Every structure is written in C-alpha cells, then in structure tokens.
C-alpha cells in the first residue's frame, strides 16, 4: 500500500530550567535587571553547564509507517508524547532527532481555537484559518457554506470569535479542517469539548474522510470512539511506542494497565485528614471490582466494592458506615449508609479488627476521577467515631454501556438507564378522548 506518513527514529527532548521560581509580580526594573544579570547567574548556578537544567524526553526513538487510507488511533496516559507527536507531524515543532515524511496535504486540529484571531469575526476567521491550513481563497469560497452549515454557527458569523464559547470554537475549527479535503487529517483530543450531536457529526466526517481513501491520525482518550473508528492503534508510554496492533487488542491492554495500580490506602499515618472521637478507627480502605479484584478503575456500569478495615479501642454494640462519593471538583455526587440501606449490624469489639464491605452493583457514573469520604459512627447517633476525608480515589473509564457503539455524552455526572416507546398517535387517544374519537379525528 502507498505510504502516507513515515516516522523514523523520531525523538524530541526539551530542556527544563530548574532555576528559582519567578515571582508572580515583577516591576520593569526587576525584569531588566534579571535579563542583564542572566549570563552571570547562569555561570554561578551552573545552568550554562547543565547543572540547573533537566532534559525531558517527550519522544524517544519512535518509528512507524501509516498507509494511505488508514485511520490510526493514538492512545496513552497524559504526558506519553501523543500531542508532541502530532505537533511534529503538523510541522509546528521540530524534532530533536529522526525524520518525518508526509505524502499529501495535511489538515490538523490540535487545540481549540488554533489559527483563530479573537478580534476577527467567525466569517473572517474561516478565511484566516483556511489560509493557514493551505486552502486557496477560491477553495474556501466553494466550501464556505458547507463549513458554516457543519459548524452550526450561522447566526454568529459576524460576531468576534473572542465571544465564542470553547464549543463553538472547536466546531468551527473542525469544520474548516475537515472541509480542507486533506490527504492527511491530524486530530488531537478536542472532540470532548463538543456536545453529543457534534461528536457524532465529527466521527461521521472522519469516517467519510477515511472511506474516501484519505488518512486520519486521531489522538483521543475516548476508547469507544477509538475502537469504533480506527483500523489500527498505537499506544505510547513515556515517549516510547510500546504497542502497535488491532484496536481491540491495544485498548484492552491499555485498560488492563490502568487497572493494575495500587487501589488501597493505609489510613494510620499522621498525614490522614480525620476527625471523630477515636474510639474506633478506619485503618485501611480498598477499592475493588465487584468480583473482588483490586483495581484503581472500573468501566461505566461495572460494579465497585469498597472495603474498610476498622480497629476499635472500645466496645460498640451497633455502628454504621457512611460512604460519600465526590467528583474531581469536590462536589458530592452521591452517598450510601449501611444503616439506612438495611445492611447487617456492625458490632465492634475492643482490640479487634472488623472488615466492612460495601458492594455497589452498578456505578452509574460518567468517566472521571472520584474520591471517597468514609464516616464511621454509632448507629443510634450521628457523632463520628472516625471520619476520613478524601480516603481514596478511583477512576471510571468510558464504556459502550448501552451497546450503541459509542459512550454516552460526557456533559453529565451520572448516566441513567431508560426505556423508550414509540407508537402511532392515531391508535393512542389523547387524555380525555376515546379511542373511537381518536380514530375519527385521524381518518
């Protein structure tokens, strides 16, 4: 097959200055003084000799080819080198070593609003952005109506882009890049900004580009989209290409790696934030799958088991455990309590350990990181024996939970199962109307 992208022994290194941190506010005189004395301070601190500078390896000896017409997904944790790779492919960043060969015109969408001038209107920015991406004026004019229609921003065309929301910017930027008709389309993780309908349109457009024989390189954390759209997936870790294979194989290995981290925490240390009488203490907290396997993450809809190990200094005839779940912003999402849920009585014996497990059969949480607060108290009163704030964290991973081929819209904290019915209104009378009357009206 014809090669569209060739990457050979590609490396990218950045020098990170470890000098003293700059003050938040400096005067002009201070800035000029620092600038004039910089060479002397570098020699004094050893920065010029590398003593105060660290080398960060963003990409390390990466080699791969992409054939024309392939849809290649790139996945990996934050900092793995995915975005750096796309910036080099887009010729925004130059490599430290190695080479890249691109065979065809490239359209790229790397960051929200890239190539937009905030003071110009949407109309003007279509021409500006199209020119940056290599479109001629006549080509932009031919595609203009299709770009605006796809982006859905017609009523805001004469509004300065600085007043656009991030979602509007990414819709317009994607529309321009997609209608450039490039041989190679590079897309970084920007689709998460759009709503569900726009994401569907984007995925459809990328599929259209791919089926027309052009090449797509797609960086995303949306495993469902990667699995359904891509014909091949590359996984990066710490700047190195570690896996190149069929999407299902690579994604499954990636998710398995996420789940193998430490999912328990020792709560006996002095750094633990806690309150309570201290008559009993939670010594350990652990997060497991519903099958009891220690895991830092669960997929949407999977069960979660939270296990707490309690040591009591006093006899407590009846205790209760409450678990609060909070999102990454600290907002309480939900909570459960053993007493309120009708769980078994918890009796704590002096000098003994007690294990309490809470099984949540189905986690209806959207993807993200969540933290758990644990409250141990007497069942007959609300005074805390032990309360641990931010006891442990866990992640929820995207999943095709409804079996529709894509993950639900991210613009929410929880997802709900639902049942839908559709029927012909002519056979379903309106309230207060008989079926015969309904039939007569619809004849």
Q: What is the pLDDT of residues 107-128, one digit of tens each?
A: 777 765 566 788 899 899 888 8
Mean pLDDT, rounded, for 217-222: 83
According to the per-residue pLDDT averaged within each range, which of 26-30, 227-231, 336-340 is highest?
A: 336-340
What is the C-alpha to C-alpha distance for residues 27 and 251, in angstroms, rounded to an integer?
A: 51
Cα separation, 346 vs 352, whole angstroms: 13
Residue 138 neighbours by CB under 8 Å, 6+ apart: none
pLDDT at residue 261 is higher than 80: no
pLDDT at position 46 over 60? no
49 band by pLDDT with thresholds 50, 70 and 90: very low
For residue 170, pLDDT beyond 50: yes
Name which residue leads in pLDDT, 311 or 169.
311
Instruction: For residue range 124-149, list pLDDT tens digits in order.
Output: 988 887 887 777 888 888 889 988 88
Which residue from 39, 191, 44 is spatially nearest to 110, judged by alpha carbons?
A: 191
């Amino acid at each position: 097959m014809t090669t569209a992208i060739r990457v050979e022994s590609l490396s990218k290194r950045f020098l990170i200055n470890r000098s003293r941190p700059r003050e938040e506010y400096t005067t002009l005189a201070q800035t000029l003084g620092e600038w004039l004395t910089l060479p002397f301070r570098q020699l004094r601190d050893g920065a010029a000799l590398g003593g105060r500078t660290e080398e960060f390896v963003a990409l390390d000896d990466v080699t791969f080819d992409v054939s024309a017409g392939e849809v290649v997904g790139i996945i990996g944790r934050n900092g793995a080198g995915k975005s750096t790779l796309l910036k080099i492919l887009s010729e925004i960043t130059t490599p430290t070593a190695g080479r890249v060969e691109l065979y065809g015109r490239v359209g790229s969408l790397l960051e929200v609003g890239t190539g937009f001038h905030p003071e110009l209107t949407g109309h003007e920015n279509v021409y500006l952005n199209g020119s940056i991406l290599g479109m001629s004026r006549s080509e932009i004019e031919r595609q203009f109506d299709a770009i605006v229609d796809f982006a859905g921003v017609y009523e805001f065309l004469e509004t300065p882009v600085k007043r656009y929301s991030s979602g509007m910017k990414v819709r317009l930027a994607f529309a321009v890049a997609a209608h450039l008709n490039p041989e190679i389309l590079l897309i970084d993780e920007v689709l998460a900004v759009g709503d569900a309908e726009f994401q569907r349109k984007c995925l459809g457009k990328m599929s259209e580009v791919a089926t027309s024989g052009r090449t797509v390189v797609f960086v995303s954390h949306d495993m469902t989209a990667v699995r359904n759209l891509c014909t091949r997936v590359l996984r990066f870790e710490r700047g190195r290409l570690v896996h190149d294979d069929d999407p299902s194989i690579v994604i499954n290995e990636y998710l398995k790696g996420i789940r193998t981290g430490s999912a328990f925490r020792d709560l006996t240390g002095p750094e633990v934030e806690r309150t309570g009488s201290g008559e009993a203490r939670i010594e350990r907290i652990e997060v497991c799958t519903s099958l009891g396997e220690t895991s830092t993450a669960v997929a949407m809809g999977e069960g979660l088991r939270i296990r707490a190990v309690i040591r009591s200094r006093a006899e407590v005839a009846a205790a209760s455990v409450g678990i609060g779940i909070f999102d990454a912003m600290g907002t309480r999402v939900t909570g459960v309590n053993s007493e309120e849920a009708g769980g078994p009585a918890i009796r704590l014996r002096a000098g003994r350990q007690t294990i309490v497990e809470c099984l949540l059969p189905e986690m209806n949480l959207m993807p993200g990181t969540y933290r758990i607060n644990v409250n141990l108290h007497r069942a007959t009163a609300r005074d805390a024996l032990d309360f641990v704030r931010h006891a442990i964290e866990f992640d929820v991973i995207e999943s095709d939970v409804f079996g529709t081929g894509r993950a639900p819209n991210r613009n929410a904290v929880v997802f709900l199962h639902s049942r839908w019915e559709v029927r012909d209104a002519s056979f379903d009378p309106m309230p207060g109307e008989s079926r015969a009357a309904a039939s007569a009206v619809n004849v």
